[in-house]
């Protein structure tokens, strides 16, 4: 999150920050993350991340990695990693073509994406039962 001094010095950042503070309820990054993660089982530990998003309506840089503890081959290797860097702020108009949906775009439900993630990490061989005591 930008510091108050950074927001004050940069007119574009100040405008973005002011807009984000007044945006419609439920459209901030914290609320969006909360909605997304609430649909995924076992995501309660992400509450701290959601709280971090709620601290500022503007996120300039972020790195998020999520592991899957049940992943047999490498449980500490991130299953999902997302990196976001805001490189530039500009007041220039954005052409309509930037918002055009690509011709080869296919809509996919979030449930299908999550099912595909779990399928990718499902063990290929049966897991042996622990020895009886």
Q: What is the pLDDT of residues 1-60, one digit of tens each?
A: 677 888 888 888 888 777 777 665 666 666 666 777 767 666 665 666 666 666 566 777
- Write down the pLDDT at residue 99: 92
**Residues 60-114 pLDDT 10s:** 777 877 777 666 666 677 777 888 888 877 778 889 999 999 999 999 998 888 8
With the CA atoms of 95, 18, 47 and 31 taken in that order, what torsion angle do they form, in degrees rounded to the nearest 10?
A: -60
pTM of the model: 0.41
Per the structure block, which two tokens stand in for 10? 């940069």
- Write down the pLDDT at residue 97: 93
Per the structure block, which two tokens stand in for 93? 């108009």
- Write down the pLDDT at residue 53: 63
Query: Which residues pair with residue 77 across a beta bridge?
Result: none
- Write down the pLDDT at residue 28: 64
- Write down the pLDDT at residue 25: 61
- CA pair distance 27, 57, nearest whole angstrom: 10
Residue for token digits 């991340």? 49
* 78-86 contacts, C-beta under 8 A, 24 or more apart: 79/117, 79/121, 80/117, 84/59, 85/60, 85/61, 86/59, 86/60, 86/61
H-type alpha helices, the chain? 4-9, 11-22, 29-38, 47-54, 110-120
- CA pair distance 30, 33, nearest whole angstrom: 5
Cβ–Cβ < 8 Å for 83, 63: yes
């Amino acid at each position: 999150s930008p510091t108050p001094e950074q927001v004050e010095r940069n007119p574009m950042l100040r405008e973005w920050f002011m807009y984000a503070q007044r945006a419609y309820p439920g459209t901030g990054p914290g609320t969006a993350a909360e909605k997304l993660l609430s649909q995924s089982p076992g995501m309660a530990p992400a509450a701290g991340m959601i709280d971090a998003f709620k601290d500022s309506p503007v996120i300039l840089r972020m790195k998020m990695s999520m592991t899957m503890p049940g992943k047999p081959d490498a449980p500490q290797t991130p299953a999902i990693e997302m990196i976001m860097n805001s490189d530039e702020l500009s007041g220039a108009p954005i052409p309509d073509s930037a918002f055009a949906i690509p011709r080869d775009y296919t809509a996919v439900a979030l449930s299908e994406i999550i099912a595909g993630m779990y399928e990718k990490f499902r063990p290929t061989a049966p897991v042996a039962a622990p020895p009886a005591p």
